[in-house]
């Protein structure tokens, strides 16, 4: 938890942003519900607890069973939670009181949890506006549907809240929170740097373990052990597979085989729950084949291009399109596509090879705030999400500003089913050389991902060290690690 001044300051900023959300005298209340424990089967055997990210951001309390109300008219704040009783003490040990937690987050008052519901109902009955963020977890959905008697879909959709609207998540509150969380504070950047350092160590352990004959699952275990020992755990379910053409491949049943490529997309969550997210692609025998190197070098150049372009004032959508052009230029040199680059970019030909966006926001969530609405988070007013494969999956299109944290993750994948579909449906308008693609059908995929902080005059890669990325650097690292291992 940060110092209480951080949370007090954030809530003051939110209060000011919400001043515009309603008539003077009836702005209403903003309500925040932290996450509950989620039992695996019986109530004493829970999944690992993870606090709701906006609750963490505004109140800092990293425990289940808390909620809070910020009165947007008076500025009063109250933290709701229950002090432990003797049964809890038997199982959990003595715990600090709720009032001491309210003190730590700088909230003026605290009250038992059941008063959270009664305060909301009282405010609603007196015609006050109720603002809450889109709800994602099951228990919180259940809590609000029972409290408000509304369908659960209302809790995920955002609408402008006025005195008489039916219950739904608040567009005003959601936009205000997004505007704050998008721009990272100094204390947050320090935490992301820590998560990136752990991510670096995870990927280093994975690379060192990547040897012919080793099971992918073994590598995952060694890699995830690093973040379990140094941070909170993984920031998302690790992707580690020699079938890297499947973008989010969570199967780890294969054995490392020379000649194949291993895609590792994994990150750490710091103890304060800030994320990192890195991808590297390794040659399983320690050396790329020339076919692999040619494609790998294109992806590495695309990653570098995004880094050189990312700066305040440019839309990340434009960076995505510049990367698409560079990728198509490289693929054209290999004879896989043909035509003018501008035409191919316009027709979305890069989507056949990179059916995802260049990157996303990252912060307390690895895909930061996407529970609040992907377009609200990733698109400026007036920007319209494209329908094309690839560009349509771009989750961060906004004009970059200092303090944004985004991922830079181009990839090239050869997905036989997709290639076949495009060929059958003639989606490529004659710009793809399917005969030349034949020898890539068992290639797999390559993705290379770094995390960028947008600075006043450009950007910097987050984390104290950068993982090897050029094909030469990767081979040199694997070579020296193999030599060290053989000396042991």
Q: Which residue is nearest to ligand GLY (CB)?
A: 236
Query: Closest CB to ligand GLY among 15 and 310?
Result: 310
44-to-88, 308, 391 alpha-carbon distances in Å: 11, 51, 45
The radius of gyration computed from the CA coordinates of the chain, to the nearest angstrom, equals 25
- In the list ligand GLY, Mn ion, none, the entry touching 119 (Cβ below 5 to 8 angstroms by class) is none
- In the list Mn ion, ligand GLY, none, the entry touching 249 (Cβ below 5 to 8 angstroms by class) is none
Q: Is 407 in the site for Mn ion (CB under 5 A)?
A: yes
Give the binding range for Mn ion (CB under 5 A) out of 53-61, 176-184, 262-270, 416-424.
262-270
Q: Which two tokens stand for residue 452?
A: 């960028």
Query: Closest CB to ligand GLY among 114 and 466?
Result: 466
Contact map string, positions 427 to 466, toward Mn ion, x by CB under 5 A: ----------------------x-----------------
What is the torsion angle, in degrees rounded to the nearest 10, for the CA atoms of residue 103, residue 173, residue 368 and residue 145?
90
Smallest distance, Å, CB 244 to Mn ion?
Answer: 12
Query: Closest CB to ligand GLY among 332 and 360?
Result: 360
Burial per residue of 69-80, b for 16 or more beta-carbon CB atoms within 10 angstroms, e otherwise: bbbbbeeebbbb
The answer to whether 273 and 59 have CB atoms below 8 angstroms apart is no
Query: Closest CB to Mn ion among 77 and 193?
Result: 193
Smallest distance, Å, CB 267 to ligand GLY?
Answer: 7
What span, in angstroms and rounded, lies between the C-alpha atoms of 381 and 399? 10
First-to-final CA distance of the chain:
42
Q: Which two tokens stand for residue 306?
A: 């995004």
Smallest distance, Å, CB 56 to ligand GLY?
Answer: 20
Smallest distance, Å, CB 12 to ligand GLY?
Answer: 33
Smallest distance, Å, CB 395 to ligand GLY?
Answer: 8
Query: Closest CB to Mn ion among 270 and 407?
Result: 407
- In the list Mn ion, ligand GLY, none, the entry touching 236 (Cβ below 5 to 8 angstroms by class) is ligand GLY
Window 265-304: residues binding Mn ion (CB under 5 A):
265, 277, 279
**Helix or strand or coil: residue 314?**
coil
Residue 47 is given by DSSP the state P
- In the list ligand GLY, Mn ion, none, the entry touching 129 (Cβ below 5 to 8 angstroms by class) is none
Backbone angle region of 75, left / alpha / beta, with phi > 0 → left and psi within -120 to 50 → alpha: left
Backbone angle region of 44, left / alpha / beta, with phi > 0 → left and psi within -120 to 50 → alpha: alpha
- In the list Mn ion, ligand GLY, none, the entry touching 234 (Cβ below 5 to 8 angstroms by class) is none
Residues that bind ligand GLY (CB under 6 A): 236, 265, 277, 360, 366, 409, 449
Q: Is 393 in the site for Mn ion (CB under 5 A)?
A: no
Smallest distance, Å, CB 252 to ligand GLY?
Answer: 15
- Return the sign of the alpha-carbon dihedral for residues 298, 201, 461, 321: positive
Smallest distance, Å, CB 369 to ligand GLY?
Answer: 14
How many C-alpha atoms does 379 have within 13 Å on its Cβ side?
A: 16
What span, in angstroms and rounded, lies between the C-alpha atoms of 196 and 205? 14
Smallest distance, Å, CB 307 to Mn ion?
Answer: 15
Query: What is the size of the binding site for Mn ion (CB under 5 A)?
Result: 5
What span, in angstroms and rounded, lies between the C-alpha atoms of 114 and 453? 41
Residue ranges in contact with Mn ion by CB under 5 A: 265, 277, 279, 407, 449
């Amino acid at each position: 938890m940060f110092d209480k001044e951080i949370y007090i300051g954030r809530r003051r900023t939110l209060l000011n942003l919400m001043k515009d959300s309603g008539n003077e005298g009836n702005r209403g209340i903003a309500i925040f519900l932290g996450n509950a424990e989620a039992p695996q089967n019986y109530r004493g055997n829970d999944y690992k607890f993870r606090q709701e990210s906006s609750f963490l951001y505004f109140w800092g309390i990293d425990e289940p069973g808390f909620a809070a109300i910020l009165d947007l008219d008076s500025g009063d704040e109250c933290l709701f939670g229950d002090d432990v009783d003797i049964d809890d003490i038997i199982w959990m040990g003595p715990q600090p009181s709720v009032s001491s937690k309210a003190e730590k987050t700088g909230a003026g008052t605290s009250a038992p949890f059941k008063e959270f519901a009664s305060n909301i109902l009282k405010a609603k009955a007196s015609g006050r506006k109720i603002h809450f963020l889109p709800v994602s977890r099951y228990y919180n959905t259940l809590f609000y549907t029972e409290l408000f008697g509304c369908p659960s879909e209302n809790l995920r959709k955002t609408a402008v809240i006025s005195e008489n609207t039916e219950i739904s998540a608040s567009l005003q509150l959601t936009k205000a929170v997004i505007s704050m969380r998008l721009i990272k504070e100094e204390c947050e950047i320090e935490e992301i740097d820590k998560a990136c350092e752990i991510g670096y160590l995870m990927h280093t352990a994975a690379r060192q373990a990547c040897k012919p004959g080793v099971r992918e699952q073994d590598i995952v275990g060694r890699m995830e052990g690093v973040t379990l020992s140094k941070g909170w755990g993984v920031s998302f379910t690790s992707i580690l597979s020699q079938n890297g053409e499947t973008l989010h491949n969570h199967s780890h049943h294969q054995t490392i085989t020379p000649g194949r490529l291993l895609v590792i997309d994994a990150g750490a969550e710091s103890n304060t729950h800030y994320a990192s997210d890195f991808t590297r692609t390794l040659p399983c025998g320690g050396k790329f084949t020339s076919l692999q190197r040619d494609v790998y070098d294109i992806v590495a150049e695309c990653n570098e291009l995004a880094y050189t372009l990312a700066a305040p004032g440019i839309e990340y959508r434009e960076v995505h399109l510049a990367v698409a052009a560079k990728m198509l230029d490289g693929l054209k040199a290999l004879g896989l596509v043909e035509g003018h680059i501008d035409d191919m970019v316009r027709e979305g030909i890069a989507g056949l090879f990179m059916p995802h966006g260049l990157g996303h926001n990252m912060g307390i969530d690895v895909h930061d705030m996407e529970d609040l609405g992907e377009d609200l988070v990733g698109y400026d007013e007036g920007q319209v999400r494209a329908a094309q494969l690839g560009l349509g999956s771009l989750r961060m299109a906004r004009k970059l500003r200092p303090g944004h944290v985004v991922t830079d993750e181009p990839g090239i994948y050869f997905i036989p089913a997709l290639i076949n579909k495009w060929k059958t449906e003639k989606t490529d308008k004659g710009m793809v050389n399917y005969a030349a693609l034949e020898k890539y059908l068992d290639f797999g995929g390559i993705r290379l991902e770094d995390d960028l902080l947008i600075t006043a005059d450009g950007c910097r890669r987050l984390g104290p060290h950068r993982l090897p990325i050029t094909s030469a650097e990767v081979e040199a690292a694997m070579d020296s690690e193999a030599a060290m291992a053989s000396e042991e």
